[in-house]
Protein backbone atom coordinates (compact mmCIF):
# COMPACT_ATOMS: atom_id res chain seq x y z
CA UNK A 1 0.00 0.00 0.00
CA UNK A 2 1.27 3.47 -0.88
CA UNK A 3 1.12 6.27 1.69
CA UNK A 4 0.25 9.75 0.43
CA UNK A 5 3.56 11.05 1.81
CA UNK A 6 5.34 8.75 -0.67
CA UNK A 7 3.65 10.55 -3.57
CA UNK A 8 5.03 14.02 -2.82
CA UNK A 9 8.19 15.07 -4.61
CA UNK A 10 10.59 17.85 -3.74
CA UNK A 11 13.73 19.44 -5.13
CA UNK A 12 15.45 22.81 -5.33
CA UNK A 13 12.92 25.27 -6.78
CA UNK A 14 15.75 27.12 -8.54
CA UNK A 15 16.20 24.19 -10.91
CA UNK A 16 12.83 22.35 -10.75
CA UNK A 17 9.74 24.16 -12.08
CA UNK A 18 7.22 22.10 -10.06
CA UNK A 19 8.43 22.97 -6.56
CA UNK A 20 6.32 25.61 -4.78
CA UNK A 21 8.29 28.76 -3.98
CA UNK A 22 7.40 30.25 -0.58
CA UNK A 23 8.13 33.96 -0.23
CA UNK A 24 7.65 35.07 3.38
CA UNK A 25 9.58 36.91 6.08
CA UNK A 26 12.08 34.80 8.02
CA UNK A 27 10.72 36.23 11.28
CA UNK A 28 7.42 37.90 12.17
CA UNK A 29 5.97 39.75 15.15
CA UNK A 30 3.45 37.60 17.06
CA UNK A 31 -0.18 38.40 16.18
CA UNK A 32 0.83 40.86 13.45
CA UNK A 33 -0.53 40.24 9.94
CA UNK A 34 2.03 39.40 7.25
CA UNK A 35 1.87 38.12 3.67
CA UNK A 36 3.01 34.84 2.18
CA UNK A 37 3.28 34.39 -1.58
CA UNK A 38 3.39 30.90 -3.07
CA UNK A 39 4.16 30.39 -6.75
CA UNK A 40 5.70 27.92 -9.17
CA UNK A 41 8.21 28.46 -11.93
CA UNK A 42 10.02 31.44 -10.43
CA UNK A 43 13.38 30.46 -11.95
CA UNK A 44 12.28 27.83 -14.48
CA UNK A 45 8.91 28.67 -16.04
CA UNK A 46 6.13 26.11 -15.74
CA UNK A 47 3.76 25.77 -18.73
CA UNK A 48 0.19 26.89 -18.35
CA UNK A 49 -1.61 25.13 -21.16
CA UNK A 50 -4.67 22.93 -21.46
CA UNK A 51 -2.39 19.89 -21.65
CA UNK A 52 0.14 20.82 -18.90
CA UNK A 53 -0.71 23.07 -15.96
CA UNK A 54 -0.77 23.56 -12.21
CA UNK A 55 -4.23 22.72 -10.90
CA UNK A 56 -3.87 23.89 -7.27
CA UNK A 57 -1.61 25.18 -4.49
CA UNK A 58 -2.23 24.69 -0.75
CA UNK A 59 -0.52 26.55 2.10
CA UNK A 60 -0.23 25.19 5.66
CA UNK A 61 1.31 26.33 8.94
CA UNK A 62 2.84 23.75 11.30
CA UNK A 63 3.38 25.35 14.74
CA UNK A 64 6.60 24.38 16.49
CA UNK A 65 5.82 21.46 18.79
CA UNK A 66 2.31 21.09 17.33
CA UNK A 67 0.91 17.73 16.32
CA UNK A 68 -0.93 18.84 13.16
CA UNK A 69 -0.55 21.54 10.51
CA UNK A 70 -3.26 24.14 9.95
CA UNK A 71 -4.48 24.83 6.44
CA UNK A 72 -4.03 28.53 5.66
CA UNK A 73 -5.46 28.51 2.16
CA UNK A 74 -6.34 26.42 -0.86
CA UNK A 75 -6.01 28.04 -4.26
CA UNK A 76 -7.40 26.48 -7.45
CA UNK A 77 -6.42 27.48 -10.97
CA UNK A 78 -9.17 26.56 -13.39
CA UNK A 79 -8.51 28.40 -16.65
CA UNK A 80 -5.74 27.01 -18.85
CA UNK A 81 -6.78 28.09 -22.31
CA UNK A 82 -9.63 25.62 -22.72
CA UNK A 83 -12.20 26.60 -25.30
CA UNK A 84 -14.93 25.21 -27.50
CA UNK A 85 -12.56 26.21 -30.32
CA UNK A 86 -9.94 23.77 -29.01
CA UNK A 87 -7.06 23.44 -26.59
CA UNK A 88 -5.15 26.66 -25.85
CA UNK A 89 -7.65 28.72 -27.87
CA UNK A 90 -9.49 30.13 -24.85
CA UNK A 91 -9.62 33.75 -23.77
CA UNK A 92 -8.29 33.29 -20.20
CA UNK A 93 -5.38 31.64 -18.40
CA UNK A 94 -4.93 31.72 -14.63
CA UNK A 95 -1.41 32.18 -13.26
CA UNK A 96 -0.19 29.67 -10.65
CA UNK A 97 0.53 32.19 -7.89
CA UNK A 98 -1.33 32.95 -4.65
CA UNK A 99 -0.92 35.36 -1.75
CA UNK A 100 -2.31 34.84 1.74
CA UNK A 101 -2.38 37.25 4.67
CA UNK A 102 -2.10 35.64 8.09
CA UNK A 103 -0.83 36.07 11.63
CA UNK A 104 0.70 33.53 13.99
CA UNK A 105 1.47 33.48 17.70
CA UNK A 106 4.03 30.67 17.58
CA UNK A 107 7.13 29.94 15.53
CA UNK A 108 6.80 27.07 13.08
CA UNK A 109 7.03 26.04 9.45
CA UNK A 110 5.17 27.19 6.37
CA UNK A 111 4.42 24.25 4.08
CA UNK A 112 3.25 24.51 0.47
CA UNK A 113 1.97 21.76 -1.79
CA UNK A 114 1.06 21.90 -5.47
CA UNK A 115 -0.42 19.58 -8.07
CA UNK A 116 0.70 19.41 -11.71
CA UNK A 117 -1.76 17.55 -13.93
CA UNK A 118 1.12 15.62 -15.55
CA UNK A 119 3.88 15.44 -12.91
CA UNK A 120 1.85 14.99 -9.72
CA UNK A 121 2.32 16.29 -6.21
CA UNK A 122 5.14 18.58 -5.05
CA UNK A 123 6.03 20.16 -1.71
CA UNK A 124 8.31 22.70 -0.08
CA UNK A 125 8.77 24.14 3.42
CA UNK A 126 10.11 27.34 4.95
CA UNK A 127 10.87 27.97 8.64
CA UNK A 128 9.18 30.91 10.35
CA UNK A 129 10.46 32.38 13.60
CA UNK A 130 9.12 35.06 15.94
CA UNK A 131 10.82 38.37 16.67
Active site residues: 16-18, 46, 52, 116, 119
- Residue 44 contacts residue 21 (beta carbons within 8 Å): no
Task: Sort residue 51 into left (φ over 0), alpha (ψ -120 to 50) or beta.
Answer: alpha
CA 6 – CA 17 distance, rounded (Å): 20
Amino acid sequence: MTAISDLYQTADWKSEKHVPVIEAPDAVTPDEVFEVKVSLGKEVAHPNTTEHHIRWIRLYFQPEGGKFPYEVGSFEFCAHGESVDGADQGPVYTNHCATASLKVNKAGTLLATAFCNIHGLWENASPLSLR
